[in-house]
C-alpha cells in the first residue's frame, strides 16, 4: 500500500527552513523585549514619575508627557492632511494624470529622506526662519512632515483595496461622490488607515535626531506650544549618553516599550470598534 | 409606451468602438433582455442607460438616449437620473453595514431622515424583494453574513428603496446557484408590474423564461431585436439563429 504521508526530502528541508525563520524572528523579538524589561523594570521607582525632573530622581515623567504631546500634535496636523490628500489622489484625481504622478513621486521621495535631514530643515525653517525656536510647535510640525508620506501611502493603499463594487453600488443609488467617499469608502478603509497611523506613531515615538533639533532636549514639561521639552527617546538618549544613569535609561526604555504596546492595543481596539459600528 | 428611446448611439472606450449605431425602444412595464457573447456590448449599453459609463475614463458616447421623452445627457442631474433608473450588479455588492442600513442608505442619500419613514421604506423594500420574511429578525446583522442569493435580493431591495421607475440588471444571477436564480427570476416577473426592467443575461433559457423582448448583440451591434417568442422561435437573422442554437458563443 502506498503511504500518502511520506514526505519528500525537499518538503522536509522547506519545512525546517520555514520553522527556522519563524524561530529566529520570534527569538529576536523575545530577546529585545526581554532584555529591555529585565534590565529596566528593577529601576522603575515612583520617583521616576515625579512631576519635576531633578538630577536626583532622573524623572522620566516630563519626557512621557512631552512624547504624548508631540504624538498628539503631529497626528492632528498630519492625519487630516494625509488622509484627505490620499482621498483626492484615489477618488477624485484622474487616473494616470501628470499631477498625480508628481505628487506620488514627491511623497515617495519624502518617505526616503533620513530623519536628521528633517531635523535640520525643521530647525532652520520652523525654529530660525519662523522664529519658533526649540519648541513643541517646531517639533510637531517637523515630525508631522515626516509621517505625512507614510499616512498618505497607507491611506491610498487602503482606499484602493475597497472594492469598486461598493462605489458602483453607491453611485447606482444616486449618491454623489462626496457621500460615497464619506459614508461607504472611508468607513471600509478605516482599519487600514489606522494601521498606518499606528506605524506613524511608532515613527514619532522612536525619533530622536529630528526631535532634539526641533523640540530640544530640556528635561521639563512644556508650558505652552512654544516651549521646549523632550520625549522619552530623547530622554533615553541623554541618560545613556551621560553614562551616569544606565539603570534609569533602561527603565525609560521599558516604559517606552510599554507605552508603544498600550498605544497599539488602543488603536486596534478603536479599529475593532469602528468595524463593529459600520 | 416606450420608457427608453435609443437613437444612433455610438460609444467608444478610448479607441475601441464598443457600441455601433444602436437604435431601439424599450417599452415600459415589460422585461427586456439583452443577450450575446462576452464583449458584445450588452453590458455597455445597459450601463449607458443610467450613465454609469461616465465613471469609466476615456468613454465617449454620441447619439441620444431619451427617458420618457427627455434626454439623459446634457443638462440634467446624474444623481437624479440614477435614482430613477436603479441598478443591480453582476456580483451581489451589499455595503459592509447592517441589512437595515444597506436599505436605508438610498433614502437617506435623498434626504429622508425620519426614523418611522425609514422603517416603512426598509420593510416595504425588503417585502417587495421577497426577502422580508427571511430577514425581518436580522435587520441589525451585517449584510455580509447573508448567503449570495440573499445578498442579491438585498441588493434588489436596496435598488427599490429609492422608488425607481426602471431597474437595470447586469447578469444578476450569474454568480448564484440554481435555487437562488429561480427565486430572483420569480421576483423579476413580479416586479415587472411596477417597474420597467432591462436585464443582461448570459443564460438564454433565462431570457426565454422571463423576458418579453430580446435584443441580440454581436461585436457592438444589435443584430436582432423583437419579441422574445419571435427571436427564439423564428429568428430573422442567420447569426441570431446560430447563436441561440449554440453554434457559437
pLDDT tens for each residue of B7-49: 999 999 999 999 999 999 999 999 999 999 988 889 999 999 9
| Rg (alpha carbons) of chain A, rounded to whole number | 23
CB pair distance less than 8 Å for B109 and A167: no
Cα of A161 to nearest chain B Cα, Å = 14
CB pair distance less than 8 Å for B95 and A166: yes
Nearest to A267 by CA among A159, A154, A105: A154
What angle, rounded to 10 degrees, do the helices at A232-242 and A61-87 form? 140
Residues of B in contact with A173 (CB under 8 A): 82-83, 86, 105-106, 109, 158-159, 161-162
Contact B118, B104 (CB under 8 A): yes
| CA quadruple B141, B142, B143, B148: dihedral sign | negative
Residue B243: alpha-carbon gap to chain centroid: 22
| Residues in chain A whose Cβ is within 8 Å of chain B | 94-95, 163, 165-176, 179, 183-184, 187-188, 278
**Cell numbers at residue A149, please?**
508620506
Cα of B84 to nearest chain A Cα, Å = 8
Cα of B2 to nearest chain A Cα, Å = 22
In angstroms, the CA A146 to CA A113 distance is 9
**Secondary structure, 3-state, chain B:** CEEEEEEEEEEEECCEEEEEEEEEEEECCCEEEEECCCCCCHHHHHHHHCCHHHHCCCEEEEEEEEECCEECCCCCCHHHHHHHEEEECCCCCCCCCEHHHHHHHHHHHCCCCCHHHHHHHHHHHHHHCCCHHHHCCCCCCEHHHCCHHHHHHHHHHHHHCCCCCEEEEECCCCCCCHHHHHHHHHHHHHHCCCCEEEEECCCHHHHHHHCCEEEEEECCEEEEEEEHHHHHHCCCCHHHHHHHCCCCC
Residues of B in contact with A188 (CB under 8 A): 96
CB pair distance less than 8 Å for A165 and B79: no
Tell me the average pLDDT across A23-47: 93
For B111-120, write each residue's pLDDT tens digit. 999 999 999 9
Residues 6+ apart with CB under 8 A from B180: B147, B148, B149, B150, B152, B173
| Residues in chain B whose Cβ is within 8 Å of chain A | 50, 52, 55, 57, 79-83, 86-87, 89, 91, 93-97, 105-106, 109-110, 155, 158-159, 161-162
Q: Measured between alpha carbons, how far is residue A70 from residues A62, A258, B52 in Å? A: 12, 17, 46
Contact B187, B159 (CB under 8 A): no
Contact A122, A138 (CB under 8 A): yes
Structure confidence at residue A45 (pLDDT):
87
Residue A29, H or E segment: helix A9-40
Contact B47, B53 (CB under 8 A): yes
Residues of B in contact with A183 (CB under 8 A): 105
Contact A212, A234 (CB under 8 A): yes
Residues of B in contact with A100 (CB under 8 A): none
For B179-192, write each residue's pLDDT tens digit. 889 989 999 999 99
- Cα torsion A82, A84, A85, A89 to 10°: value is 130
**Cell numbers at residue A126, please?**
520652523
Cα of A179 to nearest chain B Cα, Å = 8
CB pair distance less than 8 Å for B93 and A166: yes
In angstroms, the CA A209 to CA A213 distance is 6
- What value does the mean pLDDT of chain A take? 90
Residue B31 backbone phi and psi in degrees, to 5: -105, 125
Task: Count A/B contacts: CB-CB distance under 8 Å.
Answer: 66
For B55-81, write each residue's pLDDT tens digit. 888 899 999 999 998 899 888 899 999
Residues 6+ apart with CB under 8 A from A169: A184, B89, B93, B94, B95, B155, B158
Cα of A173 to nearest chain B Cα, Å = 5
| Chain A contact probe: residue of B49, B105, B145 with most A CBs at under 10 A | B105
CB pair distance less than 8 Å for A173 and B106: yes
Residues of A in contact with B83 (CB under 8 A): 173-174
Residue B72: alpha-carbon gap to chain centroid: 17
- Would you call A79 exposed, middle or buried from its count of C-beta atoms within 10 A (0-12, 13-18, 19+)? buried
For B206-238, write each residue's pLDDT tens digit. 999 999 999 999 999 999 999 999 999 999 999
Task: With a cut of 80, say whether residue A66 has pLDDT above it.
Answer: yes
Cα of B80 to nearest chain A Cα, Å = 6
- HSE toward the beta carbon, residue A258, CA cutoff 13 A: 12
Task: With a cut of 70, say whether residue A203 has pLDDT above it.
Answer: yes
In what order do the strands lie in the sheet containing B16-27? B16-27, B2-13, B59-67, B70-71
Structure confidence at residue B44 (pLDDT):
92
What angle, rounded to 10 degrees, do the helices at B99-109 and B115-128 form? 110
Contact A233, A119 (CB under 8 A): no
In angstroms, the CA B14 to CA B38 distance is 19
Residue in B with minimal Cα distance to A183: B105
CB pair distance less than 8 Å for B162 and A167: no
CB pair distance less than 8 Å for B106 and A168: no
Residues of A in contact with B162 (CB under 8 A): 173-174
- What value does the mean pLDDT of chain B take? 91
Task: With a cut of 70, say whether residue A205 has pLDDT above it.
Answer: yes
Residues of B in contact with A169 (CB under 8 A): 89, 93-95, 155, 158
> Which of the four pLDDT bands, split at 50, 70 and 90, describes residue A75?
very high
Tell me the average pLDDT across A91-101: 86
Contact B215, B224 (CB under 8 A): yes
A172 vs B87, B96, B97: nearest CB: B87
CB pair distance less than 8 Å for B96 and A187: yes
Residues 6+ apart with CB under 8 A from A170: A179, A180, A183, A184, B95, B105
Residues of B in contact with A171 (CB under 8 A): 52, 55, 82
Residue B193 backbone phi and psi in degrees, to 5: -65, -35
Cα of A194 to nearest chain B Cα, Å = 18
> Which of the four pLDDT bands, split at 50, 70 and 90, describes residue A8?
confident
Q: What is the pTM of this model?
A: 0.84
Amino acid at each position: 500500500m502506498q503511504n500518502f504521508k511520506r514526505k519528500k526530502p525537499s518538503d522536509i528541508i522547506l519545512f525546517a527552513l520555514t520553522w527556522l525563520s519563524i524561530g529566529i524572528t520570534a527569538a529576536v523579538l523575545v530577546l529585545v523585549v526581554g532584555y529591555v524589561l529585565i534590565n529596566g523594570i528593577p529601576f522603575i521607582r515612583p520617583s521616576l514619575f515625579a512631576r519635576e525632573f531633578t538630577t536626583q530622581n532622573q524623572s522620566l515623567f516630563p519626557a512621557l508627557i512631552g512624547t504624548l504631546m508631540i504624538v498628539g500634535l503631529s497626528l492632528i496636523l498630519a492625519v487630516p492632511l494625509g488622509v484627505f490628500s490620499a482621498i483626492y489622489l484615489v477618488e477624485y484625481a484622474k487616473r494616470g494624470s501628470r499631477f498625480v504622478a508628481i505628487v506620488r513621486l514627491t511623497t515617495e521621495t519624502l518617505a526616503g529622506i533620513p530623519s536628521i535631514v528633517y531635523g535640520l530643515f525643521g530647525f532652520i525653517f520652523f525654529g530660525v526662519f519662523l522664529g519658533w525656536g526649540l519648541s513643541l510647535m517646531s517639533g510637531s510640525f517637523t515630525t508631522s512632515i515626516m509621517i505625512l508620506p507614510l499616512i498618505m501611502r497607507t491611506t491610498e493603499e487602503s482606499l484602493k483595496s475597497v472594492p469598486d463594487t461598493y462605489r458602483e453600488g453607491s453611485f447606482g443609488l444616486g449618491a454623489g461622490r462626496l457621500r460615497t467617499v464619506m459614508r461607504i469608502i472611508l468607513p471600509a478603509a478605516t482599519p487600514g488607515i489606522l494601521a498606518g497611523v499606528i506605524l506613524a506613531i511608532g515613527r514619532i515615538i522612536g525619533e530622536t535626531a529630528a526631535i532634539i533639533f526641533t523640540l530640544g532636549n530640556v528635561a521639563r514639561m512644556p508650558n505652552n506650544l512654544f516651549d521646549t521639552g523632550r520625549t522619552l527617546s530623547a530622554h533615553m538618549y541623554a541618560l545613556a549618553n551621560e553614562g551616569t544613569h544606565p539603570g534609569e535609561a533602561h527603565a525609560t526604555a521599558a516604559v517606552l516599550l510599554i507605552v508603544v504596546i498600550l498605544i497599539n492595543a488602543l488603536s486596534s481596539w478603536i479599529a475593532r470598534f469602528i468595524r463593529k459600528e459600520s | 409606451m416606450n420608457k427608453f428611446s435609443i437613437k444612433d448611439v455610438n460609444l467608444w472606450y478610448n479607441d475601441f468602438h464598443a457600441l455601433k449605431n444602436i437604435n431601439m425602444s424599450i417599452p415600459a412595464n415589460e422585461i427586456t433582455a439583452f443577450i450575446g457573447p462576452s464583449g458584445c456590448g450588452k453590458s455597455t449599453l445597459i450601463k449607458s442607460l443610467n450613465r454609469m459609463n461616465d465613471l469609466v475614463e476615456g468613454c465617449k458616447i454620441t447619439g441620444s438616449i431619451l427617458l420618457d421623452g427627455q434626454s439623459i445627457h446634457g443638462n440634467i442631474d446624474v444623481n437624479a437620473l440614477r435614482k430613477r433608473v436603479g441598478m443591480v450588479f453582476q456580483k451581489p455588492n451589499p455595503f459592509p453595514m447592517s441589512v437595515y442600513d444597506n436599505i436605508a442608505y438610498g433614502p437617506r442619500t435623498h434626504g429622508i431622515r425620519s426614523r418611522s419613514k425609514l422603517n416603512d421604506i426598509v420593510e416595504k423594500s425588503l417585502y417587495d424583494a421577497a426577502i422580508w420574511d427571511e430577514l425581518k429578525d436580522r435587520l441589525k446583522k451585517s449584510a455580509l453574513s447573508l448567503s449570495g442569493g440573499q445578498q442579491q435580493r438585498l441588493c434588489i431591495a436596496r435598488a427599490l428603496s429609492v422608488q425607481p421607475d426602471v431597474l437595470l440588471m447586469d447578469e444578476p444571477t450569474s454568480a448564484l446557484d440554481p435555487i437562488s436564480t429561480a427565486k430572483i427570476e420569480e421576483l423579476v416577473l413580479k416586479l415587472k408590474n411596477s417597474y420597467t426592467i432591462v436585464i443582461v443575461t448570459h443564460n438564454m433559457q433565462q431570457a426565454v423564461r422571463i423576458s418579453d423582448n430580446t435584443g441580440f448583440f454581436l461585436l457592438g451591434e444589435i443584430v436582432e431585436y423583437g419579441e422574445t417568442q419571435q427571436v427564439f422561435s423564428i429568428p430573422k437573422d442567420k447569426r441570431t439563429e446560430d447563436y441561440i442554437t449554440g453554434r457559437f458563443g
